[in-house]
Amino acid sequence: MTHLRTILVFVATAALATAQERDVRISNPPTLSKPNGYSYIVEVNSGKVVYVAGQIAADQDGNIVCKGDFAGQVRQVFENLTAATKAVGGSLKDIVKLNYYISETVDRSLIPKLREIRAGYLPSPMPPASTLLFVKGLASPDYLIEIEAAVVNGPK
């Protein structure tokens, strides 16, 4: 754990109505502090669970895109998540959990930009459970962010 500088709980989103259609319940118990832009609990009662490995800012050919540009890399990662969820018959609205890994070289003042970009891909009134970690490094020093997802899709 020495490589972690800060552990933050963070957000990503999925449409509440869609979650209810999949028999997924998202909640924030009143016995816990009010979360800031994420949900504490996602309860999956039916559907197919798919785990998507961490996505980085690489294009289809494996080339790193937007070197040094945090916002550009976030967009590419969400494009990759879009492709991954589509490949299993779902979409970004089916995401119930996201884990963010951000290089410690990224200025923490850019986190609101991450939220803004994410909202363009995942608009929702009730976001899924999420975790954000600042890490010493990712697989390549050119990667600034990596995001992995848990997806639930399929009929109720």
Q: Which residues contact 71 (CB under 8 A, 6 or more apart)?
A: 110, 113, 117
Residue 37 main-chain phi, psi, to 5 deg: 85, 15
Domains of the chain as residue ranges with CATH: 4-153 (3.30.1330.40)
| Residue-wise pLDDT tens digits, 15-46 | 334 444 567 788 888 988 887 777 788 888 87
C-alpha 107/C-alpha 111 separation (Å) is 8
The reply to whether the predicted model has a pTM over 0.95 is no
Instruction: Give the pLDDT mean for 4-22.
Output: 35
Spell 56-86 as b/e; 16+ CB within 10 A means b: bbbeeeeeebbeeebeebbbbbbbbbeebbe
Cβ atoms within 10 Å, residue 148: 17
Quote the mean pLDDT of the chain. Answer: 83
